[in-house]
Amino acid sequence: MEHECTCSTKFADVDDLRPLEEIIERYGSEKGALIPLLQEAQDAYGYLDEKIMREIAKRAGYQFSQVFGVATFFAQFRLKPIGEYLIKVCHGTACHVAGATQITDEVANQLGIKEGETTPDNKFTLESVMCLGACALAPIMVVGDDTHGKLKPTSIKKVLKHYAGPSGSQASEGDDAE
Amino acid sequence: MSGNGNGHAYKVVLGYGTCGIAAGATAVKEALEQEVESGGYDVDLDIAGCMGLCFKEPVVEIFDRDGCSVVYGDITAKKVPQLLEEHVGKGQVIEDWVVKKSEDPNACDGDFLANQLRVVLRNCGKINPESIEEYIEIGGYEAARKALTSMTPEEVIDEVSTSGIRGRGGAGFPTGTKWGFARKSPGDEKYLICNADEGDPGAFMDRSVLEGDPHTVLEGMILAGFAIGARQGYIYCRAEYPLALKRLDIAIEECHQKGFLGENIFGSDWSFDVKVKKGAGAFVCGEETAMMASIEGQRGMPKPRPPFPANSGLWGKPTNINNVETFAAIPWIIAEGGEKYADIGTEKSKGTKVFCLAGKVRRTGLAEVPMGYTLRQVIFDVGGGIAGGREFKAVQMGGPSGGCLPAEKLDTQVDYDQITAAGAIIGSGGMIVADNRTCMVDLARYFLSFTQDESCGKCTPCRIGTKRMLEILERICEGKGEPEDIEKLQILAGDIKDASLCALGGTAPNPVLTTLRYFKDEYEDHILNHKCAAGSCPALITLYIDAETCTGCAACVKVCPTDAITGEKKEPHVIDAEACIRCKMCLSRCPSESIIAE
Ligand SMILES: Cc1cc2nc3c(=O)[nH]c(=O)nc-3n(C[C@H](O)[C@H](O)[C@H](O)COP(=O)(O)O)c2cc1C
Ligand code: FES
């Protein structure tokens, strides 16, 4: 199923170290586990707070600089919290040619935020990403876990409305295919 | 498959890959489940990966007891009750929705598939990728069983060398030769890596194979591990492909249960296992030395070669890296024989290649064709030509390392050497088709902004050089270009190509060089006449409304952020060029396509 849990308390609080302990436990002393450790920590907390990175360094036996270096190298790691739904607008080649810029502009317009920002109600964060591998249906946008294809600036409003209700009350996926 | 594989009157298979889901397949799936249950139809419902008919997604294929099938396209949840009622209930085909029928391969858009030859994609869209049984039923894992129980590693390598297959990850290095190096490299501990990073924007064949037929890739890896002597394999898959990651996990688990991975595979004395590593979003990690650094848990920075991975790779041990598509062809080669593969293709490029058709082409999707087809055959015969009746302008191949070929190169054969001679590369196989609305200077700028962003920063030519090139291109797109800029770009391009540490920098100037080679007039038009003929670069265009066709519906007025559009209701509107910021928001809103950008 596409939409499993969309409860409002999706992410753990950075003061609660239990999820992190569990993750570190699981990877133990596995060789080269730093990237998966950070990935799972981000999944649990929504982003990589400095406190979390320091804990990882201390508990899993890395230099903090090493942890921070990896976290800032890869595009996927975020050092700031995100909203309930992360909107990723694809700016890969096919989507660029198909008008991805207008899609980002329209989402930004509708939400009143710029790329990289989160709405004041913490509902949406807007990001640009590289190819999502659904180029044949360009332009593409992913909201939370759902991929939306063949977008037009005119279809954005409807897509966003679908997620805009109170936390966790995402409307059921209608027949919104063209 | 013989029949539809079970006792039901019909088997209904829904295309359930990322593209299908993006087009609304989840709603179709729910509707199918509901209708089959409530209608009491004698139907076996199943899912499959992407068939490659992306332009017709969501796609549903219905098999009868004899195994004859009809493929329906553009299926929505609303169409499901009628589909089941007519086809399954009354046995009547709904001709209007048909994409392809098995007895009539040329039906409607059937020539999309009829013009292809499927080796790598042989099972994609046909079997349930989450069921090892379906893969075994069509002969899956027989090649691996045969090799591990009756062939020597050298014989496997010989067969792969005979096939002539060259790596599908971009560089086109002969796979048999590469395996030979890794085999001969001394050491007991060796590693095998499957490169599933697919960072090239516009390429999605690896995703489609992983989502549609993950067992083929695993079988290819088992064969490779046996051939080179590696007992541990890794699949480095980008995180942007959650469905591929999920299906790989399922497939690996199924293999463990069957004993196809783990200790003493197929009762032989050979042991091999595979782990999945999830990428973290860095294009450069597709490069093999950067990928190994990333698997080791470090920043993904490339290292100078030599030493080559075959001698010193992952954790300093001999390592062999191949692309997903390369591995996916191996079981076929071992089962059918290298010679049969070598019969397909041209003298120096053997076999088939999967291309991803995207952009302004009518039928977007996966096209697997024999090497040696011409670009025209791929884009026009398989892809159906340009969408919206516009004119073909260029095809971009090989992504950020590749180039753009113009109409006069359409008769070039797809073959590593011929495409390279023409100025592009086969690369991973992305083909983005551009029409006369695509600005080639903007496309070059786009790729440079990509490589500049993805440069790991380790070497100066790539880190600083691409930035300088990007600045020049941005300036040209803003109408501030200078006549010397073209020469400056060429000089910088040469330096970056010569001096970069890895191929990311070494190939970064290619999109600029080929657009300069074939579309220099467009650069000159931007620089000297401050014009963008494609109507794309905001600083160089004017938007106006065609008074002849404008219906005065005022849709544009509502979206204009600067209130630059005025007019009476039901009368032609006008755009105030002073107030217009050329954001083009109005363009897509106009129902009569009366807004023109020039
Ligand atoms: C910057 C850069 C990015 C690359 N990205 C990929 C990629 O996404 N997938 C891939 O298979 N190969 C990629 N390669 C090529 C790999 O380094 C390597 O040649 C390939 O995986 C070898 O497999 P093959 O012999 O089967 O082609 C990339 C190379 C460079 C320089
Ligand atoms: S370019 Fe957007 S999905 Fe590939």
From the CA of B432, the nearest ligand is 2
Q: Is the residue at A169 inside a domain?
A: no
CB pairs under 8 A between A and B: 175
- Residue in chain A closest to B239 (alpha carbons) equals A76
Please check the confidence at residue A3 and state whether its pLDDT lies above 80.
Answer: no
Q: Is the residue at A32 inside a domain?
A: yes
Distances (CA, A) of B180 to B77, B156, B159, B228, B544: 52, 10, 12, 7, 63
Q: Which residues contact A168 (CB under 8 A, 6 or more apart)?
A: A6, A7, A8
CA distance B28 to chain A (A): 8
Q: What is the pLDDT of residue B195?
A: 98
CA distance B52 to chain A (A): 9
Please check the confidence at residue A165 and state whether its pLDDT lies above 80.
Answer: no
Same domain, A45 and A89: no
Residue with tokens 């894992």: B141
Q: What is the pLDDT of residue A7?
A: 43
Paired tokens of B127: 């079997």
Same domain, A98 and A63: no
Cα B308 to ligand 1 centroid, rounded to whole Å: 14
B368 C-beta neighbours (distance < 10 Å), count: 23
Per CATH, the number for B132-341 is: 3.40.50.11540
Paired tokens of A107: 């989402």
CB contact under 8 A, A131 and B450: no
Q: What's domain B352-435's architecture?
A: Roll (3.10)
CB contact under 8 A, A137 and B23: yes
Q: How many Å apart are CA B349 and CA B172, to the nearest integer?
A: 9
Please check the confidence at residue B2 and state whether its pLDDT lies above 80.
Answer: no
Q: What is the pLDDT of residues B105-121, one digit of tens each?
A: 444 455 788 888 999 99
What's the mean pLDDT in B123-133?
95
Q: Which residues contact B97 (CB under 8 A, 6 or more apart)?
A: B72, B73, B74, B75, B79, B83
- Domain B542-597, CATH 3.20.20.60 — does that match? no
What's the mean pLDDT in A164-170?
61
Q: What's domain B440-528's architecture?
A: Up-down Bundle (1.20)
Cα dihedral B140/B210/A178/B438 (nearest 10): -130
Q: What is the pLDDT of residues A106-157, one digit of tens each?
A: 999 999 999 999 999 999 999 999 999 999 999 999 999 899 999 999 899 9
User: What secondary structure does DSSP assign to B178-225, as a single string?
Assistant: HHHHHHHS--S--EEEEEE---STT--HHHHHHHH-HHHHHHHHHHHH
Ligand 1, atom 20, lies closest to the CA of B169
Q: What is the pLDDT of residue B110?
A: 58
Residue closest to A165 by CA, chosen among A127, A123, A126: A123
Q: What is the pLDDT of residues B62-103, one digit of tens each?
A: 998 888 889 999 999 999 999 999 999 999 999 999 988 765
Residue with tokens 């509502």: B558
Same domain, A62 and A90: no
Q: What is the pLDDT of residue A64?
A: 96
Find out whether B473 and B405 touch, Cβ atoms under 8 Å.
no
Beta strands in B307-377 (DSSP E): 319-323, 352-359, 365-370
Q: What is the pLDDT of residue B307?
A: 94
Find out whether A148 and A159 touch, Cβ atoms under 8 Å.
yes
* Ligand 2 surroundings by CB, under 6 angstroms: A 90, 92-95, 131-135, 138, 140; B 201-202
To test ligand 2's pocket by mutation, which of A88, A89, A90, A101 has the most ligand atoms within 8 angstroms of CB?
A90
Sort out which chain B residues have CB atoms less than 8 A from A2's CB and list them.
Answer: 21, 26
Cα B202 to ligand 2 centroid, rounded to whole Å: 6
What's the mean pLDDT in B426-432?
94
List residues bridging with A89 in a β-sheet: A128, A141
Residue closest to A176 by CA, chosen among B50, A156, A164: A156
What's the mean pLDDT in B8-24?
93
Sort out which chain B residues have CB atoms less than 8 A from A109's CB and list them.
Answer: 561, 585
A-interface mutation test, from B432, B453, B583, most A Cβ less than 10 A away: B432
Give the confidence band of B587 by pLDDT, cuts at 50, 70, 90: confident
Cα B59 to ligand 1 centroid, rounded to whole Å: 31
What's the mean pLDDT in B150-164?
98
CB contact under 8 A, A73 and B282: yes
Is the minimum distance from the CB of B596 to ligand 1 under 6 angstroms? no
Sort out which chain A residues have CB atoms less than 8 A from B359's CB and list them.
Answer: 93-94, 97-98, 138
Q: Is the residue at A108 inside a domain?
A: yes
Please check the confidence at residue A168 and state whether its pLDDT lies above 90.
Answer: no
Same domain, A89 and A158: yes
CB contact under 8 A, B201 and A130: yes
CA distance A40 to chain B (A): 11
| pTM for this prediction | 0.92
Out of A97, A137, A147, name the one closest to residue B54 (CB).
A137
CB contact under 8 A, A69 and B299: yes
Number of alpha carbons in the 13 Å side-chain half-sphere of residue B415: 17
Residue closest to B41 by CA, chosen among B87, B77, B94: B87
CB contact under 8 A, B430 and A135: yes
From the CA of B194, the nearest ligand is 1
Q: What one-character DSSP code corresponds to residue B579?
A: T
Cα B398 to ligand 2 centroid, rounded to whole Å: 14
Task: For helices B466-477 and B485-499, give the axis angle rounded to 10 degrees.
Answer: 160
For chain A, percent of residues with pLDDT exceeding 70? 88
CB contact under 8 A, A177 and B27: yes
Q: Is the residue at A2 inside a domain?
A: no
Residue with tokens 């074939």: B518
Please check the confidence at residue A174 and state whether its pLDDT lies above 50.
Answer: no
For chain B, percent of residues with pLDDT exceeding 70? 97
B357 C-beta neighbours (distance < 10 Å), count: 30
What is the spatial order of strands in the sheet that B403-406 belongs to? B365-370, B352-359, B430-435, B392-397, B403-406
- Residue in chain B closest to A40 (alpha carbons) equals B278
Same domain, A154 and A124: yes
Please check the confidence at residue A5 and state whether its pLDDT lies above 60.
Answer: no
Cα B6 to ligand 2 centroid, rounded to whole Å: 38
Q: Which residues contact B250 (CB under 8 A, 6 or more apart)?
A: B130, B214
Quote the mean pLDDT of chain B: 93
Please check the confidence at residue A2 and state whether its pLDDT lies above 80.
Answer: no
CA distance A53 to chain B (A): 15
Paired tokens of A132: 């999502």
Please check the confidence at residue A6 and state whether its pLDDT lies above 60.
Answer: no
Q: What is the pLDDT of residues B514-562, one digit of tens each?
A: 999 999 999 999 999 999 999 999 999 999 999 999 999 999 998 888 9
CA distance B359 to chain A (A): 5
Domain count, chain A: 2
Query: Residues of B1-17 as b/e, b for ≥16 C-beta within 10 angstroms?
Result: eeebbeebebbbbbbbb
CB contact under 8 A, A93 and B432: yes
Q: How many Å apart are CA A92 and CA B390, to the nearest integer?
A: 22
To test ligand 1's pocket by mutation, which of B207, B223, B321 has the most ligand atoms within 8 angstroms of CB?
B321
Give the confidence band of A4 by pLDDT, cuts at 50, 70, 90: very low
Q: Is the residue at A97 inside a domain?
A: yes
B149 C-beta neighbours (distance < 10 Å), count: 12
Domain span at A29: 18-73
Please check the confidence at residue A8 and state whether its pLDDT lies above 60.
Answer: no
Find out whether B544 and B535 touch, Cβ atoms under 8 Å.
no
Give the confidence band of A173 by pLDDT, cuts at 50, 70, 90: very low
Give the confidence band of B276 by pLDDT, cuts at 50, 70, 90: very high
Same domain, A98 and A151: yes
Q: What is the pLDDT of residue B4?
A: 58
- Residue in chain A closest to B399 (alpha carbons) equals A93
Give the confidence band of B368 by pLDDT, cuts at 50, 70, 90: very high
To test ligand 2's pocket by mutation, which of A89, A128, A129, A135 has the most ligand atoms within 8 angstroms of CB?
A135
Domain boundaries, chain B: 10-111, 132-341, 352-435, 440-528, 542-597
CA distance B50 to chain A (A): 11
From the CA of B451, the nearest ligand is 1
Q: What are phi and psi of B194, to 5 degrees?
A: -100, 120
Cα B366 to ligand 2 centroid, rounded to whole Å: 14
Residue type at B493 in one-letter notation: A
What's the mean pLDDT in B124-148?
96
Please check the confidence at residue B1 and state whether its pLDDT lies above 60.
Answer: no
Q: What is the pLDDT of residue B6?
A: 64
Same domain, A90 and A63: no
What's the mean pLDDT in B465-491?
97
CB contact under 8 A, A93 and B359: yes
Please check the confidence at residue B194 and state whether its pLDDT lies above 70.
Answer: yes
What's the mean pLDDT in B265-283?
95
Please check the confidence at residue A172 and state whether its pLDDT lies above 60.
Answer: no
CA distance A154 to chain B (A): 7
Q: Which CATH number fits domain B10-111: 3.40.190.120, 3.40.30.10, 3.90.550.10, 3.40.140.10?
A: 3.40.30.10
- Residue in chain A closest to B25 (alpha carbons) equals A177
Paired tokens of A154: 């005119």
Cα B400 to ligand 2 centroid, rounded to whole Å: 14
Query: Residues of B207-220 as b/e, b for ≥16 C-beta within 10 angstroms?
Result: bbbbbbbbbbbbbb
Find out whether B17 and B212 touch, Cβ atoms under 8 Å.
yes
Is the minimum distance from the CB of B286 to ligand 1 under 6 angstroms? yes
A-interface mutation test, from B50, B197, B240, most A Cβ less than 10 A away: B240
Give the confidence band of A167 by pLDDT, cuts at 50, 70, 90: low
Cα B194 to ligand 1 centroid, rounded to whole Å: 10
